[in-house]
Each structure stands twice: as C-alpha cells, then as structure tokens.
Amino acid sequence: MLLRAGDVGVLLAGAGLVATLTVWAWNGDRGDSVVIRAAGQIVKNLPLTHAQTVSVDGPLGTTRIAIEPGRARVVADPSPRQLCVKQGWLTQSGQAALCLPNQVSLEIRGRNAAYDTLGY
Amino acid sequence: MLRMTRSAIELPVTPDDRRIARLAALAIGLTLAEAAIPSPVPGVKPGLANIVILLVVLQYGWRAAAWVSALRVLGGGLLLGSLFAPGFWLSAAGALASLLVLALARHLPSRHFGPVSLSVLAAFGHIGGQLALAAWWLLPSAAVVMLLPVFAAAALIFGAVNGVIVARMLAGAASSGRQSASCTPPSTP
C-alpha cells in the first residue's frame, strides 16, 4: 500500500526526466571540428571525421596532435609541465587544450559555438 | 501599573496556531539537523523538513502547510545565520515552488497517487524553483545546466524516500487509530 499505481508512474516519469536531462546537459554539444592555433594564428581547421595526426611547430619544438572521429588530443609536446597532454581527449564543443610555452592551442568547435572568441 | 499591562496588545491564539507553531518548530529542527550533514554538492540535501510539510498538507490542508513552510524557511534562516543571504532566497524559492506544485498535485485522485507521488513532485518543484532563481540571479551561465542532472537525480531519490517515510507514518497513524490526536507526526511503527 506504500506505492500506488500512479506512484510507480510518477517514479518512472521522474527517472525518464533525469535520464533526458543527463543526456541533454552532459552530452548535448559534441564538437565536430578542431581549430589548431600557433602563436595566436589559426594554422589548421580540421573536421573530426577521420583519424589523422598533425604536427605544429612552436618556439620550443614540434607539438603532435592526434585526431580521431569525434575527438582530438595533444599526443606530445615539448612544454615542461605537459598540461595539455595530460588533458587527454577533447570531445565537447568549447573544450580547449593550451600548450604553453610552446604557444600551440587546440579548440573543439561544435554546431553552435559557446563563445565568439576566447582570450588567454 | 495594572492598567498599563491591561492595555498591552493581546493576540488571541487559536489551537490551529499552536499546532502550526509546533509543526514549524519540528520542521526547523529537521532543517538544522540536515545542515550538519556534509554534502558533496551544495544544495543536494535529503530535505527532511519536506516530510513535515507533506504530512501537514495531507492531514491539515494546504494553507497550514504554507504557514509551516514559510515559518520553516524564516526560522531556519534565522538560526543558520543565512537570513536574507543568497542561500535563504534559494531556499524560499524552492519552498514556494514546491508548495505551488503541492497545491495542484494534492488534487490528484488519492486512489492512485499516494504520498510518494506528492513527495517526488514536490521535490522536483523544490529543485526547479531553486535552480530557476539560481540561473536567473546567481549563475547566469551554463554552470546550472551542467548541475541539472545531479539535482534532478537527488530530487527523485530523496523525494521517493521521503514519500515512503510519509506513507509509513500515515499507515502507522491509521492503524493505531489516533490520527486525530496527532499534533506531532505519528512515529513510525
């Protein structure tokens, strides 16, 4: 008697709402292209459709970037702290990895960009 | 001297007032106890005071529940030192939204929709009101959207648990046959 028929319906509807919100909020805007910059200038704008490796030269050396369907990451970079390498795969629109001081950056773009521009 | 005290304003207190005050004190107590529970995300709480609000709605009607809820928010804010701070307004917005939801939801046919339905709907209303105010006033950015699934899941779980607690309390009160004497919520069997 604790749960009546409608209660089960409300619980299921609530679970459906939670699932919908999760998909909508956390999986909403997957990126479809990647913008690669060196010293602030765009050097490449590539779609996230097929696997490829890109090498970009900076003041310290060469930054290697791997692209796979739906995601991209920095594979190797000469910067001392390796923060952009440790970030791993980027998938969502608006995510970015900055390799400093090698001045190479990687930004994922989706259908609707969250920001017009980002200054670092 | 006697005349001075005689002229003091006296507020007539009805039994209903005393009952509302007693229930509000209970709700405030639960709010304070809950504030001591650590939470990974600010705002994710069991909402134990909602057990009291729900019992009041079911036993004494919506008006009494609105009074208890308002006194709960005000008294809780006073005692936690957050009166008129952002957290207080979030709490007030949540309480108001959940009362509005309850005003509609309590007309659902009780044959099919028990306390669990009301509790879950009120919990969603609570979190909806809080997040609406937070999104509009405090965090006008994507941050609220990212937290939405966490809050919704918490509302579902805690709403269901609180609803089961209320259903058990009401069942216990009905079986022990002292429903009319229960100014404080009946204890669980």
Where are the alpha helices (H) located in A27-98, listed in sequence order? 83-86
Residue B51 tokens read as 């057990």
Residue B154 tokens read as 């918490």
pLDDT(B177) > 80: no
Which residue of A7, A21, A22 is in closest CB contact with B116? A7
CB contact under 8 A, A6 and B117: yes
A69 touches chain B (CB under 8 A): no
A10 touches chain B (CB under 8 A): yes
Residue boundaries of the structural domains of chain A: 1-28, 33-109
Residue A59 tokens read as 């003041």
How many angstroms separate the first and last alpha carbons of chain A?
A: 60
Q: What pLDDT sits at residue A120?
A: 65
The class (CATH top level) of A33-109 is mainly beta
A6 touches chain B (CB under 8 A): yes
CB contact under 8 A, B146 and A26: yes
* Alpha carbon distance B115, A52 (integer Å): 57
Q: Residues B136-157: pLDDT tens digits?
A: 888 776 667 888 899 999 999 9
Long-range contacts of B33-37 (CB under 8 A, 24+ apart): B35/B76, B35/B80
* Alpha carbon distance B115, B85 (integer Å): 32
* Alpha carbon distance B91, B85 (integer Å): 10
Residues of A in contact with B152 (CB under 8 A): 14, 17-18, 21
pLDDT(B46) > 70: yes
Residues 6+ apart with CB under 8 A from B178: B186
CB count, 10 Å around CB of B140? 10
Q: What pLDDT sits at residue B181?
A: 47
CA distance, residue A9 to nearest chain B CA (Å) = 9
**pLDDT category of residue B188 using cuts at 50, 70 and 90:** very low
**pTM of the predicted structure, to 2 decimals:** 0.70
Domains of chain B with bracketed CATH: 14-176 (1.10.1760.20)
B8-32 burial, b if ≥16 CB within 10 A, otherwise e?
A: eeeeeeeeeeebbeebbbbbbbbbe
Q: What is the mean pLDDT of chain B?
A: 87
Q: What is the mean pLDDT of chain A?
A: 87
Which amino acid does the sequence have at B189?
P
* Alpha carbon distance A108, B139 (integer Å): 24
